[in-house]
Amino acid sequence: MGPETKWCRVGSNEEAGTEQFLVTDPDGHLARFQTSLGRRLTEVL
């Protein structure tokens, strides 16, 4: 799986973001690495 960016709503006008990717090691274990992108304001409709 390649790198992906996810934004999740955490309030009525705010989102929290992460960038993540998955790696399988030679033994078959799956590891997920992620970093926070912080929060951003969204438009209220």
Q: What is the largest CA-CA distance in the chain?
A: 48
Tell me the two tokens of residue 38: 């912080």
Could you tell me the pLDDT band of residue 45, with boundaries at 50, 70 and 90?
low
Q: How do residues 11-35 score in pLDDT, each as one tens digit? A: 889 999 999 999 999 999 999 999 9
- First CA to last CA distance, the chain: 34
Q: How far apart are alpha carbons 14 and 44 in whole angstroms?
A: 9
pTM: 0.67
Q: How far apart are alpha carbons 35 and 45 in whole angstroms?
A: 29
